[in-house]
């Protein structure tokens, strides 16, 4: 795939993102209730104060002007002040985002590391005890709610066995500089193995909680696509060439079988970023999910607006990356 194609495809995302911003803008604009009143809350205020705030927020201008202003501001990362924190929204989100990204990434890697080998083995050794076990396990994983898993894990590994901390994430200690914002990487960059170990212990249970239901789905997807691929002529032909079984399965079959897995993983990762809210709350993980939950309860509109836009952009970008990955897995797909 050529670089030019990738750029072209990326530019094609702009209308989608524009559409999303219109929806986010209208969502807030059309919500019943006067933002000025909400912002001022119960505090007594004079009509002059109200008018000043209205002007400040640009609410006295016609709607199309407000939209253009909204877009212009959004492009500069300006979403106004968070009502509650009295600080720019983008700053508040920026503080919480790395924790969520780190949790999502670790969960994704964990899910793939469980699902791909398990799905492949289940497909190759169909109807074996391992296949049956993975079927039952997946059924549990899909049907049980994620937080329930989380609570179970906390009870077993943290409370009873004491292997993992009950909740939270270690903060940046003085020695570790924030480079990526991801503690697992930053601690390694700083050469602080002890802090790395702590970070790992903290992230293990919440990541596992997010990963298990996802792994359950991905195992099923990988297994069924692998079974289908193993029946194809090209796998038979690969065997007829006298290749080793590992190559036939690990290259010829898997490269084709992973296509549905990638699709589903991208979708799941998107919903994971949103669905984090419960798990982050259960584990006291200082991420975006928990922030948004708090913001919704306190009607912190600018923050919710920015977060929704961020989710949407992330979702679109995830699908973009999944598409690029397809073209590598399946060269017939043209961007």
CA-CA-CA-CA torsion sign (204, 200, 169, 97): negative
Selected from 239, 281, 286, 323, the binder of other proteins by CB under 8 A is 239
In the complex, least distance from residue 241 CB atom to other proteins, rounded to whole angstroms: 4
Does residue number 300 form part of the binding site for other proteins (CB under 8 A)? no
Stretch that binds other proteins, among 36-44, 144-152, 227-235, 286-294 (CB under 8 A): 227-235
The sign of the dihedral angle between the CA atoms of 319, 320, 324, 330 is positive
Q: Which of 7, 241, 250, 321 touches other proteins (CB under 8 A)?
A: 241
For other proteins, the closer of residues 179 and 251 by Cβ is 251
For 191-207, give the DSSP string.
T-HHHHHHHHHHHHHHH
Any contact of residue 55 with other proteins (CB under 8 A)?
no
* Selected binder of other proteins within 55, 236, 298, 321 (CB under 8 A): 236
Ramachandran region, residue 315 (left: φ > 0; alpha: ψ -120 to 50; beta: rest): alpha
Query: Any contact of residue 2 with other proteins (CB under 8 A)?
Result: no
Residue whose structure tokens are 């009502």: 83
Report angle CA 217, 223, 226 to the nearest 5 degrees: 135
Per-residue contact string for residues 205-224; x = within reach of other proteins by CB under 8 A? --------------------
Q: Cβ of residue 27: shortest distance to other proteins, in angstroms?
A: 42
Separation CA 282–CA 308 (nearest Å): 22
Among positions 103, 238, 265, 310, the unique one binding other proteins when judged by CB under 8 A:
238
CB of 3 to other proteins, least distance (A): 17
The answer to whether the CB of 82 falls within 8 A of the CB of 236 is no
Q: Is 77 left (phi over 0), alpha (psi -120 to 50) or beta?
A: left
* Token duo for residue 302: 């600018």
Out of 180, 232, 271, 298, the only residue in the binding site for other proteins (CB under 8 A) is 232
Q: Which of 36, 166, 329, 335 binds other proteins (CB under 8 A)?
A: 329
Asked whether position 291 contacts other proteins by CB under 8 A, the answer is: no
Separation between Cα atoms, residue 206 and residue 196, nearest integer Å: 16
Does 132 bind other proteins (CB under 8 A)? Our answer is no
- Please count the other Cβ atoms lying within 10 Å of the Cβ belonging to residue 258: 25
- Taking CB under 8 A as the criterion, the residue among 255, 271, 298, 321 binding other proteins is 255
Site residues (CB under 8 A) for other proteins? 232-234, 236-244, 247, 251-252, 255-256, 329-332
């Amino acid at each position: 795939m050529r670089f030019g194609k990738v750029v072209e495809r990326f530019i094609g995302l702009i209308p989608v993102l524009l559409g999303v911003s219109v929806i986010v803008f209208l969502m807030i604009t059309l919500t019943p209730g006067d933002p000025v009143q909400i912002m001022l809350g119960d505090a007594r205020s004079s009509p002059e104060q109200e008018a000043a705030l209205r002007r400040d927020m640009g609410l006295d201008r016609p709607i199309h002007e407000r939209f253009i202003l909204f877009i212009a501001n959004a492009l500069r990362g300006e979403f106004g002040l968070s009502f509650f924190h009295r600080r720019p929204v983008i700053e508040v989100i920026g503080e919480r985002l790395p924790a969520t990204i780190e949790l999502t990434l670790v969960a994704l890697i964990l899910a793939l590391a469980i699902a791909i080998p398990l799905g492949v083995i289940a497909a190759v050794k169909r109807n074996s005890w391992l296949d049956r076990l993975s079927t039952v396990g997946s059924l549990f994983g899909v049907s049980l709610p994620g937080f329930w898993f989380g609570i179970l894990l906390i009870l077993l590994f943290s409370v009873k066995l004491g292997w993992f901390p009950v909740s939270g994430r270690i903060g940046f200690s003085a020695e570790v500089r924030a480079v990526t914002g991801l503690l697992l990487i930053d601690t390694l960059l700083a050469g602080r193995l002890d802090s790395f170990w702590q970070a790992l212990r903290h992230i293990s249970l919440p990541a596992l909680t997010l990963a298990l239901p996802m792994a359950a789905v991905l195992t099923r997807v990988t297994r069924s696509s692998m079974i289908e691929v193993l029946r194809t002529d090209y796998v038979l032909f690969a065997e007829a060439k006298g290749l080793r079984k590992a190559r036939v399965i690990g290259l010829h079959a898997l490269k084709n079988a992973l296509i549905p897995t990638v699709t589903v993983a991208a979708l799941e990762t998107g919903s994971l970023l949103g669905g984090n809210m419960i798990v982050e709350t259960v584990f006291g993980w200082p991420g975006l999910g928990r922030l948004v939950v708090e913001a919704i309860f306190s009607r912190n509109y600018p923050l919710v607006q920015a977060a929704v836009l961020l989710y949407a952009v992330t979702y679109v970008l995830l699908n973009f990356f999944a598409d690029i990955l397809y073209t590598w897995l399946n060269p017939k797909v043209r961007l």
